[in-house]
């Protein structure tokens, strides 16, 4: 690891912050190319670049700071209108950003970054050297002014026994790092006492509107605390690079702040504006970075609390029924109700902490699409919506690779070349739309292109060639069934392998990854018009609200998001079609297949009842798509609704078709969680019933 004088915890915070800033610049630079220059966008880009430069400069990462500084100079010229933005400029900016990312990654590795910083800086200089107008010096900061609010805070501090001090530091006027040094001075004072006002202010520093003089008024504890002694403050500030002199004096309320000493060649010091400085009345609300492992551990403990809460509630009800009117039983019931509210609130807060906007994932893709369009010589624009939609961070981390593969396939195979689009009367610019929304307790992520669509005939021909299906079966297939073949292992209709998507990863891997999360992938296509891929994913992998049902000796949990209704069917509602039972709902005029839940799972301990003999039915549906028809699951008993804590079956037990996991009830009973989409699919394939492991419960019990 690179030798940096910083604690491991602080270094980790810097690396996390740097990654966030780099990703933000990545997205914003691509937006700059697509949307053009705007004051808000270039201002935000300049602010992020400046923050990254300052942070790396303070740690002594000179290569990263120098490269970021060069980019900042170019952004400044764009902001001032002395140069424009084109594709070549964006290319070199993104190359520099990749260099900064490599420099960041090299901090924690033993290998060199391999970044030629000099060449990148020179490349930026070449693009900017044609400008005759050099960047003007930033305006100086406002003078130090103590307004009524600041005076009141100083007076309160002095009354409480604290000491008010005036601080004046002169900086090297030739330094290119004055804003960074002012930030360091302000940061040092924040550690030594309470900063009441400063000039430049935090906002001035962020906009780089600083001169060669730094002033502040702070409140510190009395002189017996040596860490905040006047001499100690002067010594601490004097250690900051580019600081020439430091003067710390007692500040007396009502007197004007002492004028800063003049410094040679420091025109910024006399170029003060006439508006008062903004007093630092309140500090920003602090935030805390927490490792995902700690959040997972906390979530697991909260899950155990949910299980125990349910158990306590059950015991309370039992004791109240047995000892009706007993004061102790009544007190236990009140405590159980209160505990239930507290645990529910804790669980809701914990879930909220784990939620992140899906835009954090989406922000990585504009750059990906931009690079793909350049390498493929296609004109592709990525549009996004629903970035504020929240999802569990564990889900976000696991869907990145499937989405990257879908985007690569869309750009490479789905969208036509410029020549083919012109021939078919389409505009040269192709639109790829990525969106997210909440639907039925799930998150639905859609990727839509306006390309050639999926050729069902070609897909079937390739499937026959590979022996995946027979010719007779291909003839009987509907368009949707034929398109679904693209998810079969080893099936690709691409005429040639490319560097973009021909990497040995097929659509079957994408489907496997999505289904491993308890999700589902759907595809709709119109030949010649485009294709839509939809990922239906759970909001969280930790808990869900489920309907408990029993079949024979086994209890199952069905996620409520899939349940349409429950009923006790009448004999006249159950019919037989092609020797199979169906349920006829007259109110909806709907006929749906009816299957016994433990039959389709081939579970152990079946009661021997047929679907027609079962007293209850749960109507489930995988999605709201018209192509997804509901299925009636016949069960013996409806146990009730309950919060279900998801427990993985683990590698030993594996993943059984129709079962996505397990849970533990309050009384210690193990229940299996029904994977509704795969179960529905299995119920429609009479020749391929779901092969759930018959010994899953036996293994769990052991």
The interaxial angle of helices 62-80 and 87-107, nearest 10 deg, is 160
- Band of residue 301 on the pLDDT scale cut at 50, 70, 90: confident
Residues 529 and 634 reside in one and the same domain: no
Residue 143 lies in a domain: no
Residue 267 pLDDT > 60: no
List all residues 6 or more positions away from 389 whose beta carbon is below 8 Å from its beta carbon: 357, 358, 436, 437, 438, 443
Is 260 within a domain?
yes
Same domain? 246 vs 259: yes
pLDDT at 686: 44
User: Given a cut of 90, is residue 303 above it in pLDDT?
Assistant: no
Lowest mean pLDDT among 106-110, 142-146, 523-527, 688-692: 688-692
For the stretch 226-252, pLDDT in tens is: 445 677 888 888 888 888 888 888 886
- Among residues of the chain, what percentage have pLDDT more than 70? 81
Do 43 and 113 lie in one domain? The reply is yes
**For residue 102, what is the domain's CATH number?**
1.20.120.160
Question: In terms of domains, do 212 and 166 share one?
Answer: yes
Domain co-membership, 373 together with 518: yes
Over range 414-419, report the average pLDDT. 91
Number of H helices and E strands in the chain, helices first, is 23, 22
* Same domain? 390 vs 522: yes
Give just the sign of the alpha carbon dihedral 398, 403, 408, 414.
positive
The pLDDT of residue 133 is 35
User: Distances from the Cα of 574 to the Cαs of 569, 612, 679, in angstroms?
Assistant: 7, 7, 21
Q: Are residues 328 and 418 in the same domain?
A: no
CA dihedral in degrees (189, 194, 199, 200; nearest 10)? 60
pLDDT at 685: 57
Residue 253 pLDDT? 62
Higher pLDDT, 6 or 487: 487
pLDDT at residue 140, rounded to an integer: 47
Residues spanned by the domain of 500: 359-455+493-538
In order, the DSSP letters of 522-534 are EEEEETTTEEEEE
Q: Indicate whether 371 and 388 sit together in one domain.
A: yes
- Residues 206 and 242 placed together within one structural domain of the fold: yes
pLDDT on residue 430: 93
- Residue 305's alpha-carbon distances to 246, 308, 644, 661, 665, in angstroms, are 57, 5, 12, 19, 11
Q: What is the CATH number of the domain that holds 562?
A: 2.30.30.40
Residue 205 lies in a domain: yes
Q: Region 508-529: what's the mean pLDDT?
A: 84
Q: Is the pLDDT of residue 272 over 60?
A: no
Nearest to 692 by CA among 579, 563, 580, 556: 556
- Do the domain assignments include residue 487? no
Domain final residue, candidates 538, 572, 599: 538
Residue 38 phi/psi, 5° resolution?
Answer: -135, 155
* Distance in angstroms (rounded) separating the CA atoms of residues 568 and 519: 29
Residues 564 and 668 in one domain: yes
Q: What is the layout of strands, in order, in the sheet containing 543-551?
A: 637-645, 543-551, 554-559, 670-674, 659-664
Beta bridge partners of 631: 620
Residue 592 lies in a domain: yes
Number of domains in the chain: 5
Q: How far is CA 632 from CA 223, 269, 656, in A?
A: 79, 79, 21
Give 420 or 354, the one with higher predicted confidence: 420
Tokens of 69: 């500084």
Q: How confident is the model at residue 156 (pLDDT cuts 50, 70, 90)?
A: confident
β 163-171/442-449 pair status: unpaired
Domain boundary among the residues 353, 376, 397 is at 353
Same domain, 343 and 368: no
Same domain? For 323 and 426 the reply is no
| Cα gap 201→644, rounded to integer Å | 51
Name the 3-class secondary structure at 37: coil
The predicted model scores a pTM of: 0.61
What is the pLDDT, as a whole number, of residue 254? Answer: 53
Instruction: Read off the pLDDT of each residue in 112-138 and give the average, rounded to a whole number.
Output: 67
Average pLDDT in the 103-110 region?
80
Average pLDDT in the 343-356 region? Answer: 82
Confidence class of residue 451 from pLDDT cuts 50, 70 and 90?
Answer: very high
CB contact at 8 A, 108 and 14 = no
Q: Which range scores top for mean pLDDT: 303-317, 414-428, 566-580, 665-679?
A: 414-428
Domain boundary among 315, 331, 353: 353
Cα dihedral sign for 179, 183, 188, 193?
positive
């Amino acid at each position: 690891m690179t030798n940096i004088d910083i604690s491991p915890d602080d270094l980790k915070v810097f690396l996390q912050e740097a990654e966030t800033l780099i990703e933000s610049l990545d997205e914003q630079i691509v937006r700059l190319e697509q949307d053009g220059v705007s004051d808000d966008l270039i201002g935000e880009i300049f602010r992020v670049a400046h923050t990254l430069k300052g942070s790396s400069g303070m740690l002594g990462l000179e290569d990263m700071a120098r490269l970021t500084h060069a980019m900042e100079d170019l952004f400044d010229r764009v902001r001032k209108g002395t140069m424009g933005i084109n594709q070549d400029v964006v290319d070199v900016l993104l190359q520099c950003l990749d260099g900064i990312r490599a420099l960041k990654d090299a901090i924690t590795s033993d290998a060199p970054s391999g970044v030629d910083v000099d060449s990148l800086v020179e490349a930026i200089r070449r693009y900017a050297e044609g400008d005759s107008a050099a960047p003007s010096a930033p305006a100086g900061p406002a003078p130090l002014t103590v307004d009524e609010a600041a005076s009141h805070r100083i007076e309160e501090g002095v009354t409480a026994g604290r000491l008010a001090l005036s601080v004046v530091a002169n900086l090297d006027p030739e330094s290119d790092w004055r804003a960074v040094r002012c930030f360091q001075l302000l940061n040092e004072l924040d550690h030594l006492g309470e900063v009441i006002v400063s000039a430049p202010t935090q906002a001035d520093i962020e906009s780089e509107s600083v001169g060669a003089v730094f002033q502040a008024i702070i409140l510190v504890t009395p002189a017996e605390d040596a860490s905040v002694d006047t001499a100690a403050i002067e010594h601490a500030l004097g250690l900051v690079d580019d600081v020439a002199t430091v003067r710390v004096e007692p500040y007396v309320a009502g007197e004007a702040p002492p004028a800063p000493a003049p410094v040679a060649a420091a025109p910024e010091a006399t170029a003060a504006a006439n508006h008062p400085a903004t007093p630092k009345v309140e500090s920003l609300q602090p935030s805390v970075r927490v490792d995902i492992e700690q959040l997972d551990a906390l979530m697991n403990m909260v899950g155990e609390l949910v299980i125990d809460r349910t158990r306590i509630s059950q015991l309370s009800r039992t004791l109240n029924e047995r000892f009706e009117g007993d004061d102790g039983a009544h007190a236990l019931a009140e405590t159980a109700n209160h505990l239930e509210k507290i645990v529910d609130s804790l669980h809701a807060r914990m879930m909220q902490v784990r939620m992140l906007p899906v835009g954090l994932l989406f922000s990585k893709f504009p750059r990906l699409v931009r690079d793909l369009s350049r390498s493929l010589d296609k004109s592709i624009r990525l549009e996004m919506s629903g970035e504020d939609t929240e999802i569990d961070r564990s889900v976000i981390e696991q869907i990145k690779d499937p989405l990257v593969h879908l985007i690569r396939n869309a750009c490479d195979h789905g969208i036509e070349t410029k020549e083919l689009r012109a021939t078919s009367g389409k505009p040269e610019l192709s639109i790829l739309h990525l969106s997210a929304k909440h639907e039925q307790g799930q998150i639905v992520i859609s990727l839509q292109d306006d390309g050639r669509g999926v050729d069902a005939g070609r897909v079937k021909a390739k499937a026959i060639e590979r022996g995946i299906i027979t010719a007779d079966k291909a003839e009987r297939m509907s368009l949707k069934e034929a398109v679904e073949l693209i998810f079969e292992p080893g099936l690709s209709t691409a005429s040639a392998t490319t560097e973009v998507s021909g990497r040995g990863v097929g659509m079957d891997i994408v489907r496997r990854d999505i289904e491993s999360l308890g999700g589902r992938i759907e595809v709709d296509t119109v030949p010649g018009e485009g294709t839509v891929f939809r990922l239906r994913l759970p909001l969280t992998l930790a808990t869900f609200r489920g309907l408990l049902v029993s079949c024979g000796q086994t209890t199952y949990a069905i996620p409520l998001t899939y349940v349409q209704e429950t009923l006790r069917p009448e004999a006249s509602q159950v019919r037989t079609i092609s020797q199979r039972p169906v349920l006829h709902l007259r109110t909806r005029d709907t006929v749906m297949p009816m299957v016994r839940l433990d039959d389709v799972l081939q579970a152990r301990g079946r009661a021997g009842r047929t679907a027609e003999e079962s007293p209850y039915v749960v109507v489930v549906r995988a999605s709201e798509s018209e192509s997804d028809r509901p299925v009636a699951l016949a069960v013996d008993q409806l146990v009730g609704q309950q919060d279900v804590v998801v427990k993985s079956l683990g590698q030993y037990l594996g993943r059984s078709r129709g079962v996505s996991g397990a849970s533990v009830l309050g009384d210690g009973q193990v229940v299996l969680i029904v994977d509704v989409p795969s179960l529905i699919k299995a119920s429609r394939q009479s020749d391929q019933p779901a092969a759930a492991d018959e010994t899953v419960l036996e293994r769990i019990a052991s």
